[in-house]
Amino acid sequence: MALTPAHFPRLSPQDILDCQVSSWYPLFSHISIKTTIIKPVPPELREYLLADGLFAPRGSTDDNDGSENEDDEDSETEDGKVSFAFPTLDAQIREAISKYDAVFPKLNWSSPKDAQWVLSTSEFMRCTTPAEVYLSLKASDFVQHDLNPAFVFEHLDAPEYELELVLKKWYTFHRSREMRCFVRGSILIAISQRDLVYYDFLTADDAQNTIRNTIYRLWKEEIDPKWGSHTDYIFDVLLTRDLERAHIVDFNPYAPKTDSLMFTYEELQSIHSSSSASGFSPVLRIIDSRSHPLANVNGPLNQHNMLPLDAFSLSQGKTGQEFADALADAIQEANAREE
């Protein structure tokens, strides 16, 4: 069954803008991950992120003091290529890293979760230098979404918006506790596990009842009273270890571009149609067995985005450490060509 406009609410450009972190975080900072929002950013940052090649801006690594010719945001090298430097932004990123120890970066709407391969650590999206922040954003296919108004405001008149850099406090958490929640017609209709991997503890009835109750309570007591002017949206949460509390991670438009995970939008429409019935409670879906057809048993989510051809060629015939060393050398050489 093909998706039709009937499966989705009619959104306005403001609905999209309101899903920016800078729009919702001030309302929900007390129940969200600690976050620093840098806005505006230098206009040249967009140009850097769209430029060909993978290289860090001058002065953004920890192996130089950031003093070499960085009065201008960008300049030309001897071969005519533009070289980028963001000394003020570097300082702001370093301040956030000093405050949080490490950060998870994103732009207005999208995070570079497909660019883990460019980081030197196996800890998911853990950035400890401005260079790592820039490289993860630049290497990400998902982040490109935020740079293209036609994609951000698909089928809508695109308003002006400023690019923003979002730096969330990084810390270790178990991805089994991430949930995506669907609100349609001002009713919380469905909840989906985000990390499509089998976790035994999620199959217990008590755990599922607690998850459903915790998220419903968060939505009813915190989100709906402050976000009530929005009737259709999708939000992500991270549950605490005991599943009794939750933190807001993100808001997303109720639109085809937002992954519906363990539901189809046709199913969500059907659930919404029955949500006015007496005794309705949100439908919760989790991976309930290792053989579940959606179980991500062969690799991480978005694995097809995670390695460009150049990096793939570097990996051939090498151990993991040899590949990491080769990739670091390749990035260093690219940076040298830009200087």
Please, what are the domains in the chain? 1-32+175-299 (3.30.470), 33-63+71-171+307-338 (no CATH)
Q: Which residue has the higher pLDDT, 329 or 26?
A: 26
Share of the chain above pLDDT 90, in %: 69
Q: Which residues pair with 168 in a beta bridge?
A: 35, 104
Q: Pick the residue with more confidence: 79 or 168?
A: 168
The yes-or-no verdict on residue 104 having pLDDT over 60 is: yes
- The confidence score (pLDDT) of residue 272 equals 96
Query: Chain-wide mean pLDDT for the chain?
Result: 86
Predicted pLDDT of residue 74: 55
Spatial separation of the C-alpha atoms in residues 107 and 314, rounded to whole Å: 29
Average pLDDT over residues 271-280: 91
Contact residues for 213 (Cβ-Cβ < 8 A; gap 6+)? none
Asked whether the predicted pLDDT for residue 320 surpasses 80, the reply is: no
Q: What pTM value is reported for the model?
A: 0.83
What residues contact 305, with CB distance under 8 A and at least 6 apart? 114, 140, 141, 142
How many Å apart are CA 29 and CA 177, to the nearest integer? Answer: 19
Supply the pLDDT for residue 120: 82
Q: So what's the pLDDT on residue 123? A: 87
Lowest mean pLDDT among 121-130, 182-191, 246-255: 121-130
**Cα separation of 21 and 167, whole Å?**
10
Measured distance CA(241)–CA(211) in Å, rounded? 11
Burial of 301 (0-12, 13-18, 19+ CB in 10 A): middle
**Three-state DSSP state, 251:** strand
pLDDT of residue 297: 47
Residue-wise pLDDT tens digits, 282-319: 999 999 999 999 986 444 455 444 444 444 344 444 44
* 3 state SS for 224-243: HHHHCCCCCEEEEEEECCCC
Cα–Cα distance between 242 and 177 in angstroms, integer? 10
